[in-house]
Copies of this chain bind each other. A is one copy, B any other.
Amino acid sequence: MAQSAKRVVLVSRPHGEPKPSDFRIEDCAIPTPGNGEVLLRTIWLSLDPYMRGRMSEGPSYAAPVPIGGVMEGGTVCEVMASNNPAFAKGDIVLARAGWQTHLISDGKGLAKIDPKLGPISTAVGVLGMPGMTAYTGLLDIGKPQPGETVVVAAASGAVGSAVGQIARIKGARAVGIAGGREKCDYVKRELGFDDCIDHRDPNLAARLKEACPKGIDVYFENVGGAVFEAVFPLLNAFARIPVCGLIAQYNDTEASVPKWASSMMRNVLTKRLTIRGFIVSDFAARHGDFLRDMSQWVRDGKVRHREFITEGLDSAPAAFIGLLKGANFGKQLVRVGPDKG
């Protein structure tokens, strides 16, 4: 056991790409646990792209790390001393100790790791947050069907590698995007993706099209930027796009995609927006429900409506041209012939 502790604090908010000088490594004494507390020693610190967001001020889904504060992060820790009956010396726990060697905890938020599930490091990897991000985003939002095509970037990474493999388990075609030939080979040969494309390829869009001859049904968005632009034209009707990250944009000071679109996608992520196109016939099965409820609401006066009528078929072009300008006031109708009776 080390005789002193160490921690990494944030000393300045990065402008664009973080620099080593944005961090300071500090030595400190190993703290002593008080009543009900445990002393943890960090074995594994997970580094994940979301941390870039914690370094910046501005709206996100979590507060930023304060200047001078220890960088946040998920960790696998060993309990070195315990004054808390829920934990014993030697327990291995999942914690958010952050970028430091030691931590005092009151036990809240700690979870014992079951070593029977896999090596303890997997608790912050394939069996931890990154794996669960892949699992829920793909299955609960992406909902890949057998024979569909799933595309994911950062395909050799913690999230992307799980996304493609789960897609294959569900019978879908998995196409990865990764940086460089070695990663692409790994993704295809070791992970069993159907194809993997180097995002540095100057013909990225054309290569992606070749790899997705039936278009793209699920795009698991974790990078943004140029990959999204290559993916977009290939999306099929009813495609689903879970958005869990935009790593290619995290360091952006000037957006590489148009500012408005980049800001839009950041908001989709941080606010967990759902943007979904539809036309009414997609919901044909709901017609009975609709007619039952709406006719009742109209009868009860709970839904009122107004008709804006132009007379005679000849009026249709002008009425329609007006409709696009908002010249109508209520439901635009053309009375083509006399009403019956």
| A151 interface residue (CB < 8 Å to B) | no
The answer to whether A334 has its CB under 8 Å from any CB of chain B is yes
Distance in angstroms from A140 CB to nearest chain B CB is 6
B303/A339 in contact, CB under 8 A: no
Q: Name the distance in Å between A329's Cβ and chain B's nearest Cβ.
A: 6
In the assembled complex, how far is the CB of residue A247 from the closest CB belonging to chain B, in whole angstroms?
6
Q: Are A117 and B71 in contact (CB under 8 A)?
A: no
Closest residue of chain B to A19 (Cβ to Cβ) is: B321
Among B257, B273, B303, B323, which residue has its beta carbon within 8 angstroms of that of A162? B303
Q: Indicate if the CB atoms of B272 and A268 lie closer than 8 Å.
A: no
A298 touching B122, Cβ below 8 Å: yes
Q: Are B333's CB and A47's CB within 8 A?
A: yes
B-chain residues with CB within 8 Å of residue A318 when the two chains form the complex: 20
Contact between B305 and A136 (Cβ–Cβ < 8 Å)? Answer: no
Given contacts A2-B337, A304-B165, are A157 and B277 in contact (CB under 8 A)?
Answer: no
Contacts of A333 in B (CB 8 A): 44-47, 121, 124-125
Interface string of A138-170 (1 = CB under 8 A from B): 001100000000000010111001100110010
CA distance A258 to B93 in the complex (A): 49
Interface 1/0 per residue, A19-31 and B, CB below 8 Å: 1101101000000
Residues of B within 8 A of A48 (CB): 323, 332
**Chain B residues, CB < 8 A from A267:** 232, 235, 277
**A81 contacts the other chain (Cβ, under 8 Å)?**
no
Interface residue A104 (Cβ < 8 Å from any Cβ of B): no
A206 CB–B CB distance under 8 Å: no
User: Is A90 on the interface with B (CB-CB < 8 A)?
Assistant: yes
User: How far apart are the CA atoms of A129 and B332 in the complex, in Å?
Assistant: 13
Which chain B residues lie closer than 8 Å to A166 at the CB level?
A: 297, 303
| A183 contact set on B, CB distance < 8 A | 329
A276-B277 in contact given A49-B324, A156-B306 (Cβ < 8 Å): no
Contact of A182 among B169, B299, B329 (CB under 8 A): B329
In the complex, chain A residues 104-151 whose Cβ is within 8 Å of any chain B Cβ: 117-118, 120-122, 124-127, 129-133, 135-137, 140-141
Q: What are 8 residue pairs bridging A and B, where the CB atoms are less than 8 Å apart in the complex? A: A46-B331, A47-B332, A140-B286, A161-B305, A241-B274, A244-B279, A258-B258, A258-B260
Known: A17-B321, A136-B278, A235-B267. 17 other contacts (CB 8 A): A6-B313, A18-B324, A45-B316, A47-B320, A78-B340, A101-B313, A126-B305, A127-B298, A132-B280, A132-B287, A132-B290, A136-B290, A140-B286, A179-B326, A235-B271, A268-B276, A276-B276
Which chain A residues have a beta carbon within 8 Å of chain B's beta carbons?
2, 6-8, 17-20, 22-23, 25, 41-52, 61, 71, 75, 78, 90, 92, 99-101, 117-118, 120-122, 124-127, 129-133, 135-137, 140-141, 154, 156-158, 161-162, 165-166, 169, 178-179, 182-183, 186, 190-192, 229, 232, 235-244, 247, 250-251, 257-261, 264, 267-280, 282-283, 286-287, 290-291, 293-295, 297-299, 302-307, 313-314, 316-321, 323-326, 328-340
